Amino acid sequence: MRFEFRTFGAFYMVAFVIDATEEWDHPLLAAISVVAVALIYLRGVRRWDFFAFLIASSAYILAVHFPDPGNHNNLYLLVNVFLIAAILWASLHPQEVPNDAELLERVKPTLRLTMSLVYIFAGFAKLNSGFFVDDVGCAATFFDGLRSQLPIPAFTPSGPLLIVFGSAIIFWELGGGVMLWFRKTQPIMLVLALAGHTALSFLVFVDFSSVAFAMLLTFIPLAYWRIIEGDPAQISWGGLRLDRPSAYVLINLAVAVAAGVLILFTGVTNRVHQLQGLGLISATAVFIWPILAHRIRARPPVPWTGVPIWRPWRSPRWAVALPVFIVFFGLNPYLGLRTAGTFTMFSNLQITGDSSNHFLMGDMPLKIWNLSGDLVHVRKIDPRNAKQEKDDLNGNSIPVLEFQKRIVDWGDHGLDNLYATYVYDGHVYKTKDIVEDNAWDIHGYRFVHYLVDFRLVQEKGPVECRW
C-alpha cells in the first residue's frame, strides 16, 4: 500500500516537472524542480517531503503563471491546496490516518470526482456551433494535428466526417466523465482516456495529459495495484533494475533534462515538445504494461471491480469543498464570470454578454454576473499588442477587466506609443498612447485582475480555436 502512495506522488510531481520544463523559460526554477523530484522520489515520497513540494509548486504557479494560468495550472493548483489541507488534517488525526496509505485512501474519492467533473465541463463547453466549423473549429484543428503525425495525405475534413470526429471528442470528455461515476463503465473511460491523452501527447499537449494520468491512477482497483506491484518483470538497463514507477520517473526526468539541453544549444522548442510527448507516452506504456499483459494472458483475468466515485463515510466532510468549487469554477463562463482557464480548453466557446454560441446555453440562462459582458469594442489598435495573430484585438471586443490587464502588461513590457481607437460604454476613445492615456487611468493590477481571465470576443468570422 505504501507503494501506491509513492506512485501517486511520483506521477503528480512529474506532471509539475513536465510543465516547468516545457520550454525552460525559467531555467533555474525548472532545474530545481527536476532535482527536487529526483531527491524526494529516492527518499520514498514521504508525506512531509510531498507536502513541501506541494507548497513550492503552488508558489511557482502563483509567481510564474498568475494572473492567467492555463487550465492544467488551475487544476494543479486547486488539487495542491486540497492535498496540503488533507496532509495537515491527517496530522491532527493520527488515529484515523495512521500512515500515508490511509491518507491516500481518504483523498482518493475527492480526486476521482474532481477529475470526472473536469472532463464533463471540458466536453460540455464543446457543445457549440464553432467547434464543428471547417478549418478554424477545434474539431478540425485536432483532426489536422493528428493527421500530420500519421502517414496520411493532407486534406481538410468537413461535413459528416468532421461532425463524427468532433462528436467522438465530446463523447470522450463529456460521456467519459460521466462513465467514471460508475464501476462498470470506469474501465471503458480509462481506456478512452489513455488513448485520448496519448493522442494529445503526440500533439504536444503533454502538460494536461500528465496531470490527468496522475489523477486517473486513483481509479485503479487495489487488485490491479497488486498486479503492478507484484510484477516480476522489472525494467532492466544493463545492471540497473527498476520497478515500473521508477522507470516512469526516470524516463520523464531524463526527457526534461534533454529538453533543457536542446533548448539551450538550439533554441528550438517544437521538437522538444514532441520529445516530451514521446517520453510521456513511453513512460506510461512501461507503467501500465503489467495490467495490459494480465488482461491479455490471464485466463481468467482478475475481475476489474472498479472503485466508488465518492465515499463520504471515508473522506473528511470538508473534502467536498474541492468538487463543489470545481462545479462553480466550471460554470463561470455561463454565470457571466471568467471565460478562460475554466476547463473550456479547445472548445470555440464564445460568450458575448447575454448570448453565446453554445447549443444549450445560447441565451445564458444561468447568467448572474456581467463581467464577461462588460465589453470594450476595439476598432483599431497598434498591431504590436498581439504576440499571435489570433490574439489581435483589431476589430474585436474584449471584457474591460481583461483589457485593463493587457494595458498594464503592455506598459510592463515597455510598449509605448500604442495608438488605439476603441468604444466603451457608448463613448469613442482615441489615443496615441493607450498605456499612458486610457479611460480608467489604470497602471497596475487591482485584486480583481488576479481573479479573472477572459478570451477576446471575435466580432467577425468563425470563432478561432483557442487554448
Cis amide prior to 316 (ω within 30 degrees):
no
Per-position DSSP letters for 292-352, written without gaps between them:
HHHHHH-SSPPP-----S--TTTS-GGGGHHHHHHHHHHHHHHHTS--SSSS-TTS---B-
**What is the model's pLDDT at position 1?**
41
* Among candidate residues 261, 293, 322, the one where a domain is terminated: 322
Same domain, 297 and 155: yes
Specify the pTM. 0.94
- Mean of pLDDT over the chain: 92
Integer CA distances (angstroms), 126 to 139, 175, 287, 315, 348, in order:
9, 12, 31, 32, 7
pLDDT band at 264 (very low <50, low <70, confident <90, very high): confident
- pLDDT mean over 216-224: 93
Report pLDDT digits (tens) over 313-341.
Answer: 778 999 999 999 999 999 999 999 999 99
In a domain, 352, yes or no: no
Q: Is the pLDDT of residue 38 over 70?
A: yes
459 belongs to a structural domain? no
* Confidence label for 271 from pLDDT (cuts 50, 70 and 90): confident
**In a shared domain, residues 427 and 317:** no
Cα(110)–Cα(105) distance, rounded to whole angstroms? Answer: 10
Tell me the mean pLDDT in the region 9-18.
97
Q: Is the pLDDT of residue 435 over 60?
A: yes
Q: Which residue has the higher pLDDT, 29 or 144?
A: 29
Residue 327 lies inside a defined structural domain of this protein: no
Residues 132 and 255 in one domain: yes
Residue 236 has pLDDT above 80, yes or no: no
Both 95 and 217 in a single domain? yes
**Is residue 58 located within the same domain as residue 151?**
yes
Going by pLDDT thresholds of 50, 70 and 90, the confidence category of residue 233 is low
Query: 115 and 203 share a domain?
Result: yes
Res 249 pLDDT > 70: yes
Q: Is the pLDDT of residue 125 over 90?
A: yes
Residues 125 and 260 in one domain: yes
**Arithmetic mean of pLDDT, 138-152:** 84
What is the domain count for the chain?
Answer: 2
> Could you tell me if 317 and 403 lie in one domain?
no
**In the predicted structure, residue 24 carries a pLDDT above the cut 60:** yes
Neighbours of 164 (CB within 10 A): 11
349-382 confidence digits (pLDDT tens): 999 989 999 999 999 999 999 999 999 999 999 9
Least confident of 7-16, 51-60, 228-237, 424-433: 228-237
Domain range for 385:
372-451
Could you give the percent of the chain with pLDDT greater than 70?
97
70 and 151 belong to one structural domain: yes
User: Which DSSP symbol is given to 461?
Assistant: S
